[in-house]
């Protein structure tokens, strides 16, 4: 049911079911939406999902998209329909959201040290086809996990050893530490090591240049070296090598393919689903490819001009509570005045509810509607609980719930 709690939706839609609202054939600009509104573009979403699914299939690698980016089961179901092997989340709260929606194989790309979460994972793992993986990177973390399942002789915990590097995020720093931890884990039959993993994005900027790529490759090679240590402890089990990110997954495949022995590669990209205009658009592996083989921006925030207090300054009615700016400010690219046209300007800064736009083109008026592209989708989805999906004419053809 649409209500006043769903930011941006038309007042006239309050109290309506989404089905009834969609049956009215609403349009983003002519049906009373209360700007600002974050909208998703159907064609770009489908293109991006299909593009990465095809990429993974062509290289015979598995895909577990990072569902924490949108936290939207409807979108993750599209990814599953396109062949995703699993989905990825950042913590057990997020895992529970998707378990509640019937998803079965969930990759918690993080250490889990909350005893109650670990005990619940142990209870649910293996029941009705559920598989939940999480990370270990220390003997202390392993002891916490063991203590959490005391008195549970039939518990099963599937774990990955996370590998890290100096100045990185979490993860075992030395190969000696890998050997020490795997030997301890192997002593407890309730634990099953599935593979090794890491996050290469923590070492990267936004450009695919050697000084930023070299640390990425070094970490990936370290993960391979760790896998060579772990694999003999797994018997006939195929080891999984996994890394996650939207910027450098081509390097992941290249480096992980150097592993000697039976293995599977699992990619965990998340932001690719909507891409962006500045960050990932400059660093993802499809940069420079023909348009049909590139990721497309699928997320736009539309807002009204509140004030033009100076000739070169317009104040828009969105801010940090509506769009992320942890990487860059949103970028004005479109304008609606009866029809959508291209537009160019810059957002100088954001307040909580206001955007400062540097005006470079004449003819702007108070009340005009400006569309901006975004950067870093992860910090944009979380500002909205219900997002409209629009077609090329900005007709609303679906609505997506998020669960943050």
Q: What is the DSSP string of 130-178?
A: -EEEEEE-SHHHHHHHHHHTTT-TT--EEEEEEB--TTSSSSB--HHHH
Distance CA 253, CA 249 (A): 6
236-242 mean pLDDT: 97
Give the global pTM.
0.95
172 near 140, Cβ under 8 Å? Answer: no
39 near 394, Cβ under 8 Å? Answer: yes
Q: How many other C-beta atoms lie within 10 A of the C-beta of residue 280?
A: 25
CA 299, distance to chain mean position in Å, is 13
Topology (CATH) of 11-41+294-401: Lyase, Ornithine Decarboxylase; Chain A, domain 1 (2.40.37)
Give CATH 2.40.37.20 domain extents, the chain.
11-41+294-401
Distance CA 89, CA 74 (A): 15
Identify whether 333 is preceded by a cis peptide bond (ω within 30 of 0): no
- What does pLDDT average to over the chain? 95
Say what the pLDDT of residue 167 is: 83
What radius of gyration, in Å, describes the C-alpha atoms of the chain?
A: 23
pLDDT tens digits along 356-390: 999 989 999 999 999 999 999 999 999 999 999 99
Q: What residues have CB less than 8 Å from 96, skipping those under 6 apart?
A: none
Give CATH 3.20.20.10 domain extents, the chain.
104-269
Topology (CATH) of 104-269: TIM Barrel (3.20.20)
Say what the pLDDT of residue 85 is: 98
Say what the pLDDT of residue 212 is: 76
Q: Dig out the tokens for 317 from the structure.
A: 């009615």
Q: Dig out the tokens for 330 from the structure.
A: 């949103």
* Half-sphere exposure in the Cβ direction for 43 (13 Å, CA): 6
pLDDT tens digits along 59-117: 999 999 999 999 999 999 999 999 999 999 999 999 999 999 999 999 999 999 999 99
């Amino acid at each position: 049911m649409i209500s006043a709690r769903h930011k941006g939706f038309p007042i006239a839609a309050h109290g309506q079911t989404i089905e009834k609202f969609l049956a009215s054939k609403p349009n983003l600009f002519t049906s009373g939406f209360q700007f600002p509104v974050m909208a998703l573009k159907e064609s770009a979403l489908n293109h991006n999902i299909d593009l990465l699914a095809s990429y993974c299939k062509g290289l015979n690698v598995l895909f577990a998209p990072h569902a924490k980016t949108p936290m939207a089961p409807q979108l993750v179901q599209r990814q599953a329909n396109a062949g995703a092997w699993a989905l990825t989340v950042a913590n057990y709260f997020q895992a529970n959201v998707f378990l509640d929606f019937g998803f079965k194989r969930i990759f918690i790309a993080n250490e889990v040290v909350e005893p109650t979460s670990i005990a619940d994972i142990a209870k649910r793992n293996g029941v009705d086809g559920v598989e939940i993986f999480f990370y270990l990177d220390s003997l202390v973390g392993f002891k916490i996990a063991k203590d959490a399942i005391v008195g549970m002789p039939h518990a099963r915990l599937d774990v990955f050893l996370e590998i890290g590097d100096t100045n990185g995020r979490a993860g075992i720093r030395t190969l000696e530490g890998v050997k020490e931890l795997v030997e301890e884990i192997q002593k407890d039959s309730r634990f099953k090591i599935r593979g090794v993993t890491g996050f290469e994005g923590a070492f990267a900027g936004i450009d695919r240049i050697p000084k930023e790529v070299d640390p990425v490759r070094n970490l990936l090679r370290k993960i391979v070296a760790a896998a060579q240590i772990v694999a003999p402890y797994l018997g006939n089990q195929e080891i999984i090598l996994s890394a996650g990110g939207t910027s450098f997954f081509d390097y992941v495949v290249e480096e992980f393919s150097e592993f000697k022995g039976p293995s599977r590669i699992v990619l965990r990209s998340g932001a690719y689903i909507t891409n962006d205009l500045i960050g990932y658009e400059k660093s993802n592996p499809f940069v420079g490819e023909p348009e049909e083989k590139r990721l497309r921006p699928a997320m736009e925030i539309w807002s009204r001009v509140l004030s033009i207090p100076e000739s070169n300054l317009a104040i828009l009615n969105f801010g940090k509570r509506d769009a992320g700016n942890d990487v860059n400010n949103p970028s004005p690219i479109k304008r609606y005045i009866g029809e959508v046209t291209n537009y160019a300007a810059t957002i100088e800064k954001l307040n909580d509810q206001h955007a400062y736009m540097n005006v470079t083109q004449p003819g702007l008026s108070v009340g005009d509607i400006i569309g901006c592209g975004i950067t870093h989708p992860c910090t944009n989805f979380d500002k909205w609980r219900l997002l409209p999906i629009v077609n090329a004419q900005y007709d609303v053809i679906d609505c997506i719930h998020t669960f943050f």
